Amino acid sequence: MTEQTPALAAAGNGAYRICVRLEPVSHVRHGRSWPEAFTAATLTGADFNADHDRGLSRFEARIYAPPGFEDSDRDRCMLASFEFHHMVLDSARGGVMDFTGVLVGALAYPQDVYDRLAAGCPLTDIDEARGNWPGEVRYLPLPHPGFQAYLGWRAKVTIAPDRRQDDQ
């Protein structure tokens, strides 16, 4: 029996579409019925931050909350954040970039939160996103439980311009 793999489709208002495909690496035990590879997340309207410091490349794909949802430091709250290390650019063509790296962090709400947001539910009405005070929204989601078993897996990350931005 193959283990049920997590899948996440989140949408924001950023400039990119980011797809994450995960593959097991040599240190992953195959005693459990792990999948060979699977599309883990599709982030539409995402932003990303990448840097290179002392030989370590780091990449973070982020989905921000709608404008107006900020923490006390006036930073916009995030709905999802995926972090990768050891990123290598495999190819780039026509504005589309393909990277390979290692998934080291996955903060995200459950899929039903994104479905409710897409249906028009206000963020402050969603219990999982609510902060400690009335009207407050959590700055970061909690670690996504479905992805914790896949930290350390090889990630194939495809980044493309979000064509929805061209329509506006």
Structural domain includes residue 1:
no
Residue at 3 is within a domain: no
DSSP letter (8 states) at residue 76: B
- pLDDT tops 70 at residue 167: no
Encoded amino acid at 56, one letter: L
Residue-range definition of the domain harbouring residue 68: 8-163
On whether residue 2 sits in a domain, the answer given is no
pTM for the whole structure: 0.86
Name the helix (H) or strand (E) containing 167. Answer: helix 164-167
Q: Which residues of 108-140 are buried (b: 16+ CB within 10 A; e: fewer)?
A: bbeeebbebbeeeeebeebeebeeeeeebbbbe
Q: In this predicted structure, what is the pLDDT of residue 72?
A: 64
Residue 168 belongs to a domain: no
Selection from 55, 78, 82, 56 nearest residue 153 by Cα: 82
Per-residue pLDDT tens over the stretch 87-127 = 999 999 999 999 999 999 999 999 999 999 999 998 888 99
Based on the structure, what is the number of domains in the chain?
1
